[in-house]
Structure 1
Amino acid sequence: MTIPTPSDPAAVAVELEKLRGTMAEGFARVDGSLALLVQRGDQTDKAIADHEARLDALERNRWPLPSIAALVAVLGLIFSVWQYATRT
């Protein structure tokens, strides 16, 4: 088999086929990288949604703490006044 000369139309076709193969390989690699980035983005979105849900649950469970603290303070005040009143 002889190597065709550059002026030969077959040589141009062979070089175009090589170029096409190289481009297809490059596009496949870029496509794979993009698919990986999309997958990582989806995982990040899921993690953020999970953290948001956990944070919302913590905020919902935290609301009675100030009420409990106020109730304990009022009960302490009532108990102190009662002790003072019974002592005199």
Structure 2
Amino acid sequence: MSADPNRGLALELERLRGTPGEGPAEIKGALALLVHRTDRVDQELGDQREALSGLESRVDGAESAISAQANHPARLAAVERLVWIEVGAAAVLGTLGGWAVGALL
């Protein structure tokens, strides 16, 4: 009972027949997965860029508010000057009003 040498070859060829069809299918599946991941990463990157742009806008707004307050000491001095002028005027008017009332009584 000798084994047919062609039988082993036939079995090996039968086993290998499915291999060429499986290779491209695996490659296509891997490529589809990579495309899906790339799309997801691109979407996340776009979201991060939008968030960064929003933060940059907020920082710009804060910087402009700070620069608007840069002349705060000069504005404060002007307000204080006006207050002291008004206080002095009120004191003078109060004194004159007191004299006038005293003169009438």
TM-score by length of 1: 0.70
Which residue of structure 1 aligns with residue 78 of structure 2? 71
More helix by share: 2
**What are structure 1's unaligned runs of at least 5 residues?**
1-5
For residues 1-88 of structure 1, the aligned pairs below 5 Å read 7-65=14-72, 67-84=74-91, 87=95
Residues 55-81 of structure 1: CA deviation (Å, up to 9, x unaligned): 111111123345434432343224323
Deviates most, 31-40 or 66-75: 66-75
Give how far 1:36 is off.
1.1
- How big is each residue's C-alpha offset from its partner over 1:3-36, in whole Å with a ceiling of 9 and x where there is no partner? xxx9532201211221111111111100111111
Question: Which protein is bigger by CA-based radius of gyration?
Answer: 2
Taking only the aligned residue pairs, the percentage that are identical comes to 7
Counterpart for residue 3 of structure 1: none
Higher relative contact order (CA 8 A, sep 6+): 1
